[in-house]
Copies of this chain bind each other. A is one copy, B any other.
Amino acid sequence: MRTRPLKVALLGCGVVGSEVARIMTTHADDLAARIGAPVELAGVAVRRPSKVRAGIDPSLVTTDATALVKRGDIDVVVEVIGGIEPARSLITTAFEHGASVVSANKALLAQDGAALHAAAEEHGKDLYYEAAVAGAIPLIRPLRESLAGDKINRVMGIVNGTTNFILDKMDSTGAGYQEALDEATALGYAEADPTADVEGFDAAAKAAILAGIAFHTRVRLDDVYREGMTEVTAADFRSAKEMGCTIKLLAICERSKDGASVTARVHPAMIPLSHPLASVRGAYNAVFVESDAAGQLMFYGPGAGGSPTASAVLGDLVAVCRNRLNGATGPGESAYAALTVSPMGEVVTRYHISLDVADKPGVLAQVATVFAEHGVSIDTVRQQGRPDGDGEASLVVVTHRASDASLTGTVEALRKLDTVRGVASIMRVEGE
């Protein structure tokens, strides 16, 4: 074994960073054995140097992250600051000064992955980011490497623990969205401002990264259709149960049938209770992958948290250090397929639509005509009068597979019918 240590600079020392530093110390012998050389924490860049950090030598702590990555003797920079800047500049500077980079930064990778990969390649360095998607779950490496000889057709995942906790709570208790969110906040599963989670921004960033890796095609954050889950109601869960389904916020990346284009989207959807993703409880994440040869795979585990994220960071750190000792780099960005990323209108799926309609003869015929005119084929219809006798009835339509554009056209036309008083909900049905 080489005795001269590899030097690691840690950018950020919050929940994840402090756990990375801790494990680097407590598992130093293990890490050295797995890498073939010891690794040494050479510097820790923080915003608040006065904060006491157990187990970290204070002389390593600096507020000058730029100087740290410019030192020139750093082998690997671990970036766990998050956000776009200064993380982006620091990573680029790290490459320029000879370091490889391990990052957990999903927002940055989703927005600027192509440029960062190009910088890594220009300087012959590694950029690894297993921790950026689904926390501790080994996912990027299996997709990039284990399935490298296969053809992935769909990646469908629960990639945000906060929203899964809320939806699971609504499912198991019948609670409404606000009540479930309040509990998630009280238990620390949701942040004070939960927008990034509940509006699907976090999941959309992960969808962009996953789609890019799965389809060897650049997928930008802007390419991802995004719909949050704040409008999912207890009534939607009752409808889902009648269908033998539950509701999950899903990130779905699909290859089109002809193979020439891909789509990426995030929205709540009904999935059958028999689907492996339906039984993913609490704040856990899981990603379901369908490929030509391997068939159906699922990867399950904690999607967030200091220790799980640190586990993913350290796995990358070992790989990058090994590559460095070998004088090699791992697989870089793979965008050779360069497929078209199609807009949401071209996505084809099934829909569950609840309408409030006038409770009188002929309404169903009118509604069915609108669906037919837009080329959307109906699978089942359920009509029920209401006990309060307000002259309205509920009409629940489940469609066969149709394009999102056709469904949107259908709903617009339905809203113009006098007999349709309102569209109570539209929910996609996936996983069948």
Contact = CB atoms under 8 A, between A and B. Distances in A.
B302 A301 contact: no
A141 B151 contact: no
A159 to B, nearest CB: 15
Contact of A149 (B23, B305, B328, B331): B23
A137 interface: yes
Contacts of A326: 326, 328-329
Contacts of A111: none
Given A33-B216, A328-B326, A331-B34, A297 B148 contact: no
A365 interface: no
Given A146-B312, A279-B279, A318-B148, A295 B300 contact: no
A150 interface: yes
Contacts of A328: 323, 326-328
Interface in A323-337: 323, 326-329, 331, 334, 336-337
Interface in A137-187: 137-138, 141-142, 145-151
A362 to B, nearest CB: 45
A89 interface: no
A263 interface: no
B149 A317 contact: yes
A313 B149 contact: yes
A141 B136 contact: no
Interface of A: 19, 23, 27, 30-31, 33-34, 130, 136-138, 141-142, 145-151, 216, 276, 279, 286, 291-302, 305, 307-308, 310-315, 317-319, 322-323, 326-329, 331, 334, 336-337
Contacts of A336: 33
Contacts of A337: 30, 33
5 contacts: A30-B216, A33-B216, A34-B148, A295-B301, A327-B328
A147 B315 contact: yes
A31 B216 CA distance: 12
Q: Which of A138, A147, A151, A336 has the most CB of B within 10 A?
A: A138
Nearest to A279: B279
A288 to B, nearest CB: 9
B138 A146 contact: yes
A334 B35 CA distance: 10
A388 to B, nearest CB: 39
A78 to B, nearest CB: 11
Contacts of A315: 145-150
B297 A136 contact: yes
B334 A311 contact: no
Contact of A294 (B276, B286, B307): B307
Contacts of A313: 149
Given A136-B295, A295-B308, A148 B300 contact: no
A411 to B, nearest CB: 35
Contacts of A141: 138, 141-142, 145-146
Given A33-B337, A297-B300, 9 more contacts: A27-B151, A30-B151, A141-B146, A145-B315, A146-B315, A148-B314, A149-B315, A293-B314, A294-B308
